[in-house]
Structures are given as structure tokens and as C-alpha cells.
Amino acid sequence: MSTDFQTAREALGARLRELRTEAGLEGKDLAARLGWQPSKISRLQNGKQTPTAAELTAWAHAVGQPDVDVELQGLRAGLEMKQRHRSWRRQLAGGHRGRQEIAVRQMESTEMIRGLEVSRVPGLFQTPEYARVIFDANAEFRGIPPTTEAAVEARMRRQEALYDPDKTFRFLVCEAALYHRACPEDVMAEQLDRLYNLVGQRRVELGILPFGTQLRRTAPHAFWIYDRRLVIVETISEELWLTGQEDLQLYERAWDWLAESAEYGALARRLIGRARASLNLA
């Protein structure tokens, strides 16, 4: 849970406590009015539990201020926004390792991942050297501790899921990602070899979106869909964790439309091989 989210939840709890105090009620008195356990009052006031919309309405009426319900619902809406928007500044304050461990746990509870990468190789398919360069560059860009080795270890551990018979991976990679060289050419060559060998593997569907192909929908940014419960979108400043049905359906449609234009199998290998041949290796 992000610090931004927790701070906002504690602020909402403080407002609930203020309303109770203004009404001249002890926690146990308010609990009796609401038919709740006193411990629930304590958890809500101390920011240890997220109140539902109905619970906020009940609280407003119980303290004799039904009109304040509008304010409380607004605070709750802001709380939900904090939960969706997870700033990189806070997530990576101690380096990359923590976020990679979250990714490992997320993978454990997911059976199918569909993803789109526009300008880099998906983390699930990265070689250790390619991942190391990406982490080092990002640490420098963000001015965070260089916990690169621990992050690479976690990313490689995450890739063990590729061999889990209960999981499926369907990825689209724009051809540009095969040419964008954020690493030395020998590292890129090894990375392209790995991609080439992944094409056609059981449980892994890798499609390449070629330069010049006609698209029903362009690919504005990368995103990953976890089963049918979560979409994660990365921006430069934050991650979006989307769980609403409308968001899920929209991203599923975007993925399906892009998948129509991708090349698979032998044609995907040909595109990867062409990028590999373009490297100026000694």
C-alpha cells in the first residue's frame, strides 16, 4: 500500500474523530449507536481501515451531521485516487528491489498476463545483463539508491513463472523495441537471441507489431493486464493500478485490436532476426 494512500486514509480518519468529538460522543457511545464493535471505530479513526461509502453515511447521521456526508464521500473518492496512482518517487525511494518483490507476488497470483511493450523488451523476457542496464539507467535518472543486483535477482526469480504449466503469457512488442538500444550492442544481441528462442514456446505467445503495419488502434503506451482483475500502466512519474470493469474492458479491447496486426511464429522470428543482423558486432 502506498504512503500517499495511507496518509490520505489517516487524514480521513482524523476527520471522523473530529466529528465524533464535536458531537460529544466517546468511541464506545458512537459504536453503540451504529451497532458496531468499538474496535471498528478505533480502526477507522486511526486510518487502519478504509471505510465504505455506506459506513461514512452512517457515521455522518450518527454524529448528527448528515450534511457532512458529501464532504466525507469526497475524501473517500480522493483516497481511491491515491490507491490507483502510485508515484515512482515513493515506490522507489529505497531502490528497485521492493517494487520487483511486489511484481513477484503479483505473478504468483496470476494465471494469464497480456502485455504490450512499445520501446523496450518486457521484464519477463529480459536477460540479466539487459535488466541490469535498465535498472542502472533508471536509478541514475531518478536519483535513487542503486540496488541493481537485488532487483535483477528478483526479476529473474519472477521469470520462473514462464515455466509454470498453470500460467499463460501473451505479449505484444512493437518492432521499435528491437532497435531501441539502451544497452551495449553485445547485450542487445544476447537479448534478441533470447526473444528469438521464446517465439513458439508453450504458454508464451509473442507477437511483434511491425513497422508500417496498419493498426485499428495505435499503441500510445505500455500496459500489462493481469487476468481480468488488474491493469498496470507505467508513466514517467507514476504507476496506475486500474481495477474497474470499464478500464479492464477498454484495455482488453486495445490489446485485442493491436494483436490483430501482430506477426507471430516464423514471421516474428524473421523480424527479430533482422534486428539482430543490424547490430554492428565485431
Do residues 125 and 195 lie in contact, with contact meaning Cβ atoms separated by under 8 Å? yes
Q: Give whole-number Cα distances, 212 to 153, 199, 218, 256, 258, in Å.
A: 37, 21, 12, 19, 13
d(CA 31, CA 39): 9
List the domains of the chain with CATH numbers.
3-86 (1.10.260.40), 92-277 (3.30.870.10)
d(CA 194, CA 92): 28
Q: What is the pLDDT of residues 27-48, one digit of tens each?
A: 999 999 999 999 999 999 998 8
> At residue 247, does pLDDT exceed 70?
yes
d(CA 186, CA 193): 11
Pull the grid cell for residue 172: 505484444
> Per DSSP, what are the bridge partners of residue 241?
232
The confidence band for 218, taking pLDDT boundaries of 50, 70 and 90, is very high
Could you give the percent of the chain with pLDDT greater than 90? 67
- Identify residue 189 by its one-letter amino acid code: A
The pLDDT value given to residue 105? 84
Q: Please choose, from the candidates 197, 195, 188, the residue with its C-alpha nearest in 3D space to the C-alpha of residue 281.
A: 188
